[in-house]
Amino acid sequence: MAGYRKLGRTSDQRKALLRNLTTNLLHHGKITTTESKAKEVRKIVEKLIAMGVREKDNFAEVTVTAKVARKDKDGKRVKEVVDGKKVDIFDEVQKTVKKDAPSRLHARRQMLQVLYPVKEVPKDAAQKKANTKEIDLTEKLFNEYAAKYADRKGGYTRMIKLGARKGDGAETVVIELV
């Protein structure tokens, strides 16, 4: 008996499909798909959330000094003439940065192997590159989902059967995060 469903696809198509479904489930919170695809996605999502819960507090906050360009009220860099050349003026700023422990970094990289990058486009700026936001799903897993499911020991997803699909009779379900 095989350890996974082939879903009628070649391995690269299957991996891409499951990555896409997993990314959408974690981004939106629920998706509608066939029962067999949902069962495969459930395995992947449960592992990712468990990894996030295990590594949620495994970091250190470090204060670093960074040089940041000084900007005027319009957001443009302030320049100063030194020896006949225009040079940017930099200020030193103290920043607090989260530094991952090695195991958390490894977990983050394993998550990034599965998840696709997500860009969120505002509805009023549809079809435009301006104002798009890059959503970091690994941070969402560590901060939002790990805090939400910290006291749970598995069972992070729920499947609700919808019935047979009209076109081909495939059993459809809604898979959602509990």
What pLDDT was estimated at residue 131?
Answer: 76
The two tokens of residue 54 are: 């295990």
Q: What is the pLDDT of residues 10-22, one digit of tens each?
A: 999 999 999 999 9
pLDDT single digits (tens) 65-97:
999 999 998 889 989 888 889 999 899 999 999
| Domain spans of the chain, in order of start | 11-57+101-177, 59-100
CA distance 44 to 175: 13
Q: Which two tokens stand for residue 10?
A: 């070649």
| DSSP state for residue 4 in the 8-state scheme | S
- Distant-in-sequence, close-in-space partners of 106: CB < 8 Å, separation ≥ 6: none
- Could you give the CA distance from residue 2 to residue 131 in angstroms, rounded to a whole number? 45
Q: Which fold has domain 11-57+101-177?
A: 50s Ribosomal Protein L17; Chain: A, (3.90.1030)
Q: Which pTM value belongs to this model?
A: 0.83
In whole angstroms, what is the distance from residue 76 CA to residue 74 CA?
Answer: 6
DSSP conformational letter for 71:
B
pLDDT tens for the chain, 178 residues long, are 578 999 999 999 999 999 999 999 999 999 999 999 999 999 999 999 999 999 999 999 999 999 999 999 888 998 988 888 999 989 999 999 999 999 999 999 999 999 999 998 887 766 677 778 899 999 999 999 999 999 999 999 999 999 999 999 999 999 999 9
| Helical segments of the chain, H only | 11-28, 35-54, 102-114, 137-140, 146-148
The gap between the terminal CA atoms of the chain, to the nearest Å, is 30
Predicted pLDDT at 29? 95
What is each CA distance from 77 to 22, 60, 90, in whole angstroms?
41, 32, 9
Place of tokens 């489930």: 25
Could you tell me which residues are beta bridge partners of residue 60? 99
Can you give the pLDDT at residue 156? 96
Distance of alpha carbon 96 from its chain centroid, rounded?
22
Residue-level pLDDT at 102: 95
Cα 165 to Cα 5, 17, 24, 168: the distances in Å are: 20, 19, 21, 6
Residue 157 identity: T
Q: Which residue's entry shows tokens 């919808």? A: 162
Residue from 171, 129, 178 nearest 38 by CA: 171
